[in-house]
Homo-oligomer: A and B are copies of this chain.
Amino acid sequence: MNEANLNTVGDQMHQLITLLYPISRSITGNGVRETLEILKRYISLSIYEVPSGTEAFDWTVPKEWNIRDGYIKNAHGDKIIDYKNSNLHVLQYSGPVHKKVQLAELKEHIYTSPEHPDWIPYRTSYYKEAWGFCMPHNQLISLEEGEYEVFIDSTLENGLLTYAESFIQGELSDEVLIFTHICHPSLCNDNLSGISLCVYLIRNMMQQKCRYSYRFVFAPATIGSIVWLAKNESNVRKIKHGLVCTLVGDTSNFTYKQSRQQNAEIDQIVEYVLQSKPHKIIDFSPYGYDERQFCSPGFNLPVGCLSRATFGKYPEYHTSADNLELVKASALQESLEVFQEVIHVLEANKKFINQNPKGEAMLGKRGLYNTVGANSQNIDFQIALLWIMNASDGSQSLLDIARKANMKFDYIKNAADQLLGCGLLKETA
């Protein structure tokens, strides 16, 4: 990437991904700390650490895992795979090992992806002690009989689980939660793209005044959101809307997975914003990313998942091919714009009560009525005014009205602002 391109936000987002790419993250450990320290150069961030063994609902915070090196040497002493080339080569949470094994035994500890025989798969064993390596399937089948030296220099010890929050105080104590997972090592779309998008979204929002308060959570997947929910259980009722942000750097069409509530305001808004682009809406299901936890029946929060590719459904998913080439500056930037537009609509999507509910208000005396002739522009604006006044009985939001009137949200919002200015509308309590 040359410097000239860095003019675009998308390029900057890609550059941050490039910076974070080599770091060896997992659900715990120094890679997460190092990642969050870099993010602190961009945004204000509060970092939290929770000790191994802490209980969180049905779960327990695992030991902290750190890894320094790992390789397999063949009988000639050649390193046939080397952790230093790709941190995907070592099974995540692999314990230390150093011994010589025959090929047959080695194979029991090798993970490959036969469907994509040239890619290294990403595999984990967080909650069961194991050691292992990941490699391209073509390499596995070319291995010759003989003795191999396996070496993993890792530690699995009582330590800490690390996550971070960035909080933007709005006028309301009602919160919007945006969650992004930070536990994957050298995988770009899943989820350096989500991390980078959140960073640039926060930078953008810091410059605005917000109605809602916004809480961005950077945490490991599953255990991270569960720990966060357990520690913040008493504040969860403040969350009025939420999104999980992930897979936002590839060039697929957008995907929106609805919240468990299915027709929550956030669902309606994301669906409205995506209308102008090719996209798909998928029903809530209890597998995927951390919306699983926020949408568990004991919380049932209105949290959807907004991505480009669909969870588990793109070929490069959880392989070494989810790399810096897969994510594009233009795609990242478009994704950022979609999140910004969602927030724009969310901020403005109020409900009003018509202060002159009996008969129409007389627009003419307020300068809002075209007195004699008519041009179609003006007629549309008057129709927008009429829709807002007719529908504003306190039960319908501006987005509801925009959909009924078949007009753009911003057009309706602009008309509502004029009626507000005249005192014809009052925001619902």
Contact = CB atoms under 8 A, between A and B. Distances in A.
A260 to B, nearest CB: 7
A212 B239 CA distance: 43
Q: Which of A359, A369, A389, A392 lies at the interface centre, i.e. has the most chain B CB atoms within 10 A of its CB? A: A359
Interface string A351-368: 000101111111011000
Interface string A286-299: 11000011011111
Contacts of A361: 58
A8 to B, nearest CB: 39
Contacts of A356: 57-58, 298
Contacts of A128: 364, 371-372
Contact of A372 (B125, B229, B299, B383): B125
Nearest to A395: B297
A33 B225 CA distance: 70
B390 A359 contact: no
A383 B124 CA distance: 19
A272 interface: no
24 contacts: A57-B358, A58-B356, A58-B359, A58-B361, A91-B372, A123-B373, A125-B371, A128-B364, A130-B371, A130-B372, A132-B372, A229-B359, A230-B358, A233-B358, A260-B390, A286-B387, A286-B389, A286-B390, A287-B383, A292-B390, A297-B389, A297-B391, A298-B358, A299-B357
Given A130-B371, A296-B358, A297-B391, 18 more contacts: A57-B358, A58-B359, A111-B373, A125-B371, A127-B362, A127-B371, A132-B372, A230-B359, A233-B358, A260-B390, A286-B360, A286-B387, A293-B359, A296-B359, A296-B389, A296-B390, A297-B354, A298-B354
